[in-house]
Structure 1
Amino acid sequence: MQQTQMTVEIRTSTGKGISRKLRAAGRIPGVVYGRGMEPVAVSIEPKALAAAVAGEGGMNNLITLQCNGDLNQAVVIVADLQRDPLKGTAEHVDLHRVNMSEKVRVNVPILLKGTAAGVKEGGLLDVDTHTLHVECLPGQIPEHIEVDVTNLKIGQTLHVQDLVLPAGVKCLGNATNPIVGVLGKAKEEAAAE
């Protein structure tokens, strides 16, 4: 898992008006919270946040905060990132302070590998799940869960229980939920009607 550093400024004023002023000044308002601590209001430079969540791990990247005060060197992950619906710019960020010895729950993307044998025979790959909800220590958060579909034939489906997860990672979803399958030609034609 990628670990980056991000500079934040602790702010004493909160509220909608203050948040609007911060955005107008080119900053992103945010809050840092975690078990056993009072929430702390912060402001972040947009480029610093973009760099911290860049890469395959995205919002699951571990971020070490650089600031004055008690949060200096605190490790966080992005719990929520609110964006402007039209511009796509970040409007507010929630940072969850993590303890490296306590498990966290995060969503991890699924990465399909290979070309299914059933697709080569004329079938259609049907992806049911794009992310998995997992529990693990912060240092064990995988960037993605790789699923090899090479041997998947028409009519076959891979389920959560079929996945090989990295050591220390536990899936919290239903073990019988489908991940990916290959539909046959008859099912494709019926689905098209």
Structure 2
Amino acid sequence: MSKITSIEASARAKAGKGAARATRRAGLVPGVVYGGKQEATLIAVDPRIIVKGLQTSGWRSRVYEVNVDGKVERALIRDVQLHPVKDSPVHVDFMRLSAGSRVHVEVSVHFVGEDKCPGIKRGGMLNVVRHTVDVEVPAEQIPEFFTVDLTKLDINDNVRWEDVAGTEGATPISHEANFVIASIAAPNVDTTEAAS
């Protein structure tokens, strides 16, 4: 299950460019919490919260409890618009999570056991094909990350979707049934050195 991060937000009364500019002048980032068959909630958030969230790995699958003037809603960050020059957030979209629904999220893949991997010890290289996987999961069971154990892999071995830990309830959004996540590639041999 994904970690839940609580953030404070204040409600905004008006929508539109003028209201969004006024929110930014006040030092806040305008945003919206939408979905869940409810009316959208206009919010204003401290930009430091958004920047900190974006700098943390796995932010696309992190669940936020957005406290808007006492009303708490669980949501995912769906989109962040950044200033073209300053790279600071200028708008944020949160998607509300409703119990019983399934959501599409991008979950990061963590690799463990690299120091004990026989293939890497013999000079092989870890070739990561997918750092993240797009999946559909129940809103209550969003994983923080998936785990790949490398301790038994030798040179030319692959790690496929079925080998990944923490995928319970997750359905990958892929055209390939059991796709490759990573492999242990053979070491490169310099042919000029080998010939001399």
TM-score calculated relative to the size of structure 1? 0.82
Q: CA deviation at 1:150?
A: 1.8
CA offsets, 1:46-67, max 9 Å, x none? Answer: 2344566775552422222322
Contact in 2 for aligned 1:81/1:94 (Cα 8 Å) = yes
Separation (CA, whole Å) in 2 of partners of 1:168 and 1:60: 15
Contact in 2 for aligned 1:57/1:142 (Cα 8 Å) = no
Separation (CA, whole Å) in 1 of partners of 2:110 and 2:5: 23
The structure-2 alpha-carbon separation of the partners of 1:141 and 1:189, relative to structure 1 and needing over 3 Å to count, comes to farther
Counterpart of 1:79 in structure 2 is 78
- 3-state DSSP class of the match of 2:72? coil
Separation (CA, whole Å) in 1 of partners of 2:40 and 2:87: 26
- 3-state DSSP class of the match of 1:17? helix
Identify unmatched segments of 5+ residues in structure 1.
none
| Larger displacement relative to structure 2 (16-25 or 26-35) | 16-25
Counterpart of 1:31 in structure 2 is 32
Counterpart of 2:194 in structure 1 is none
Identify unmatched segments of 5+ residues in structure 2.
192-196
- 3-state DSSP class of the match of 2:182? strand
| Larger displacement relative to structure 2 (151-160 or 45-54) | 45-54
Counterpart of 1:107 in structure 2 is 106
CA offsets, 1:124-174, max 9 Å, x none? Answer: 211110001122222311111010112221112112233233432332333
Pair 1:184-2:183 in alignment: no
Pair 1:93-2:100 in alignment: no
| Larger displacement relative to structure 2 (12-21 or 144-153) | 12-21
Q: CA deviation at 1:114?
A: 1.3
The structure-2 alpha-carbon separation of the partners of 1:141 and 1:100, relative to structure 1 and needing over 3 Å to count, comes to same
Aligned residues: 187
What letter matches 1:103 in structure 2? R
TM-score calculated relative to the size of structure 2? 0.81
Contact in 2 for aligned 1:56/1:143 (Cα 8 Å) = no
Separation (CA, whole Å) in 1 of partners of 2:58 and 2:90: 21
Question: Percent sequence identity over matched residues?
Answer: 29
The structure-2 alpha-carbon separation of the partners of 1:19 and 1:45, relative to structure 1 and needing over 3 Å to count, comes to same
What letter matches 2:179 in structure 1? N
The structure-2 alpha-carbon separation of the partners of 1:45 and 1:15, relative to structure 1 and needing over 3 Å to count, comes to same
Separation (CA, whole Å) in 1 of partners of 2:161 and 2:190: 27
What letter matches 1:176 in structure 2? N
